[in-house]
């Protein structure tokens, strides 16, 4: 069954912007989807908090803190956060989409890596964490699941969901939030976390890359925590003979149980990693030593971020009961509750085995027989449990982005059968490669189970229909029916098509475009109409002239002063000579007559002074010199006497003598 199809968010648009296309991964706090930002037309990853947690203020605060913290880290090896928001009960982060796989997928498929490959992954991880540390943040949940390896080889650190400021107290209630296999001793014992807890986790990740398995294994979470507290991480060469001493030294430095002995942050560890690389020869870097744990042998149990009880007191080394169970309080019964608070992780902490019952008097003679019978019973039950649980389950291999042939071969190597093969369009997954599998990669299934594959047919392509001559509303409906979207609508004159009918499309008819693409439409405005000049006309005549040209008329509410008499058309918009479509509107402004202005008295002034004064008052000036004033420079008289009024813009004649 394709679980993606059952997800209610798939196919929805969050916040009116993010179209959810497919589910990528599910975690303890959130689900990650591949989505399309419809505003910017880009593919991104949408991390949506589980609605049940969105009601918890502390979880929402942590979610928003992740967005704000990562947004401050402009680093090429950090998954970028674009946006944060909420839509109803859904709280989300919009993040950079990194097509590829996680380091966990690589380890699950390949097992141990060559030293060069391990360092090639470790160094960009440390560079990303170094940027976070220098910005004042601690990741707190470094593990292979949070290391993304893009298809082009880029390495990026993801999931800053547990990020905290360096000086922030991280635990006050006897629990620690994180992943047991990668927790530093001080996180387990005291709940404290600074940059050195990320250094410790990176040391564990490096050990896992070099050997194919985690350094501390156990049949319960409590056992793993106890080993982190009281056992050093062994040198990788103990598991993989032949690994160089420089790599042992690098792992030992990063995973020192005393925080003060470790490099103080990821930048310092990066410097040590580069020194270690420089100390290795090309043969040592590329060697594949014997003895490494392969993908079929390693412990691939689920390592989810979880709330883990801390010991109430520090257990002393060497006081662990038989079987490795730590001596701090453990939850009794099946409800997962204990003195340290509720347990909120997938596998419960294992309780100590019950004490054997006291022997009653009268049964001493049968004691040895009962002991043998009990041992045989335990062995029988154990053998039965072993038979039921071993050899019958496996994990679905990572087949995403593989061709159908490659995916089928991987399934066969894992002892699984190929189930149904479906096909679907995809804008992001290459044609002929796997979009998804059901069950998903990493899922625990029985041997010989069937795994269905969904193969990409590439982007869905649609031919642009011929819409020329269609009315605009019908053209839009046809585009939507064909899986396209109406785009920008522009207008143009057309002698062939009446107003409101489609002239052309962009792209043109017959072109192929992705489904959902926007198609621009050019719509006819009809034949062009030349706007006549009606300024200076009586308003009634102006309206009649415009109506005869097929145009509508609007009269402006405000009248203006103009050279035209009151009641005549003083101005028109658009002006004469412009072209409009039939039925378009011309706005007319009516004159309220010329503005009357007082004429300054300039008699006796020089010609220059008189001209400046009259022009400043809004008049034009004309000179009348006659025969006697050819060489004069004094104003003898003016056509309108000073102190009287005249229309602004009219001409005042001055006589010069």
List, by residue number, the catalytic residues. Answer: 141
Helix (H) or strand (E) holding 224: helix 221-230
Rounded CA separation 150/79 (Å): 11
Q: Which of 488, 346, 401 lies closest to 26 in space, CA to CA?
A: 346
Residues 6+ apart with CB under 8 A from 455: 404, 421, 422, 423, 424, 432, 433, 434, 435
Q: Which of 638, 632, 598, 634 lies closest to 618 in space, CA to CA?
A: 598
Q: Are 473 and 521 in contact, with CB atoms under 8 Å apart?
A: no
Burial 594-611 (b: 16+ CB within 10 A, else e): beeeebbebeebebeebb
Rounded CA separation 650/619 (Å): 5
Say how many C-beta atoms besides its own lie within 10 A of residue 165's C-beta.
14
Is residue 320 classed exposed, middle or buried when 0-12, 13-18 and 19+ CB atoms within 10 A define those classes? Answer: middle
User: Residue 153: left if φ>0, alpha if ψ -120 to 50, beta else—which one?
Assistant: left
What would the 3-class secondary structure string for 80-137 be? CEEEEEEECCEEEEEEECCCEEEHHHHHHHHCCCCHHHHHHHHHHHHHHHHHHHHCCE
Is residue 144 classed exposed, middle or buried when 0-12, 13-18 and 19+ CB atoms within 10 A define those classes? Answer: buried
Say how many C-beta atoms besides its own lie within 10 A of residue 105's C-beta.
19
Rounded CA separation 321/330 (Å): 13
- Tokens of residue 609, six digits: 């002074």
Q: For the residues of 52-79, what is the DSSP string, one character each?
A: HHHT-HHHHHHHHHHHHHHHT---TTB-
CA atoms within 13 A on the CB side of 408: 9
Burial 228-241 (b: 16+ CB within 10 A, else e): bbbeebbbbbebbe
Is residue 484 classed exposed, middle or buried when 0-12, 13-18 and 19+ CB atoms within 10 A define those classes? Answer: buried
Supply the DSSP symbol for 164.
E
Helix (H) or strand (E) holding 229: helix 221-230
End-to-end Cα distance, the chain:
109
Q: Are 528 and 581 in contact, with CB atoms under 8 Å apart?
A: yes
Supply the DSSP symbol for 389.
H
């Amino acid at each position: 069954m394709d679980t993606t199809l059952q997800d209610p968010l798939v196919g929805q648009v969050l916040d009116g912007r993010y179209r959810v296309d497919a589910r990528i991964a599910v975690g303890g706090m959130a689900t990650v989807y591949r989505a399309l930002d419809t505003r910017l037309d880009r593919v991104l990853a949408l991390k949506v908090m589980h609605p049940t947690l969105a009601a918890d203020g502390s979880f929402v605060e942590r979610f928003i803190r992740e967005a704000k913290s990562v947004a401050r880290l402009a680093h090429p090896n950090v998954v970028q956060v674009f946006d944060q928001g909420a839509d109803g009960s859904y709280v989300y982060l919009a993040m950079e989409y990194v097509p590829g796989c996680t380091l966990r997928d690589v380890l699950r498929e390949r097992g141990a890596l060559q030293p060069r490959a391990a360092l090639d992954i470790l160094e960009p991880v440390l560079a990303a964490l170094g940027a976070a540390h220098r910005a004042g943040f601690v990741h707190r949940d470094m593990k292979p699941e949070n290391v993304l390896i893009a298809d082009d080889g880029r390495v990026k650190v993801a999931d800053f969901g547990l990020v905290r400021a360096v000086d922030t107290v991280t635990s006050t209630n006897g629990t620690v939030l994180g992943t047991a296999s990668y927790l530093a001793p001080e996180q387990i014992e005291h709940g404290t976390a600074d940059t050195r807890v990320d250094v410790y986790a990176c040391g564990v990740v490096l050990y896992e890359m070099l050997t194919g398995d985690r350094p501390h294994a156990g049949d319960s979470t409590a056992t793993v925590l106890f080993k982190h507290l009281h056992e050093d991480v062994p040198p990788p060469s103990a598991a993989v003979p032949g690994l160089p001493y420089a790599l042992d030294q690098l792992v030992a430095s990063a995973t020192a149980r005393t925080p003060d002995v470790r490099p103080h942050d990821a930048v310092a560890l990066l410097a040590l990693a580069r020194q270690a690389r420089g100390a290795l020869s090309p043969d040592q870097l590329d060697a594949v030593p014997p003895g490494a744990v392969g993908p079929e042998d390693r412990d691939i149990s689920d390592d989810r971020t979880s709330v883990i009880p801390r010991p109430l007191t520090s257990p002393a080394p060497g006081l662990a009961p038989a079987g490795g169970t730590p001596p701090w309080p453990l939850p009794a019964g099946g409800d997962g509750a204990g003195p340290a608070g509720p347990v909120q992780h997938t596998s419960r902490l294992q309780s100590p085995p019950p004490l054997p019952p006291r022997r009653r008097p009268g049964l001493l003679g049968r004691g040895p027989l009962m002991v043998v019978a009990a041992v045989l019973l335990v062995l029988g039950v154990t053998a039965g449990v072993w038979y039921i649980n071993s050899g019958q389950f496996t994990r679905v291999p990572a087949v995403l982005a593989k061709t159908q042939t490659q995916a089928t071969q991987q399934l066969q190597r894992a002892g699984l059968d190929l189930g149904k093969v479906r096909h679907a369009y995809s804008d992001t997954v290459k044609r002929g490669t796997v979009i998804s599998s059901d069950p998903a990669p990493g899922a625990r299934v029985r041997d010989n189970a069937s795994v269905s594959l969904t193969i990409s047919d590439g982007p869905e392509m649609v031919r642009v229909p011929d819409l020329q001559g269609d009315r605009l509303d019908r053209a839009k409906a046809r585009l939507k029916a064909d899986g396209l979207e109406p785009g920008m609508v522009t207008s143009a004159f057309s002698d062939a098509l009446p107003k409101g009918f489609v002239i052309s499309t962009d792209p043109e008819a017959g072109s192929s475009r992705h489904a959902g693409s926007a198609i621009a439409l050019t719509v006819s405005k009809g034949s062009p109409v030349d706007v006549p000049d009606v300024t200076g006309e009586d308003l009634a005549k102006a309206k009649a002239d415009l109506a005869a040209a097929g145009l509508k008329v609007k009269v402006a509410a405000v009248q203006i002063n103009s050279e035209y008499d009151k009641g005549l058309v003083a101005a028109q918009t658009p002006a004469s000579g412009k072209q409009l479509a039939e039925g378009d509107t011309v706005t007319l402004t009516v004159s309220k007559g010329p503005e009357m202005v007082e004429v300054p008295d300039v008699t006796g002034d020089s010609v220059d002074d008189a001209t400046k004064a009259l022009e400043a008052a809004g008049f034009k000036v004309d000179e009348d010199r006659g025969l006697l004033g050819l060489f004069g420079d004094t104003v003898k008289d003016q056509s309108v006497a000073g102190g009287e009024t005249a229309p602004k813009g009219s001409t005042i004649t001055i006589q010069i003598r």
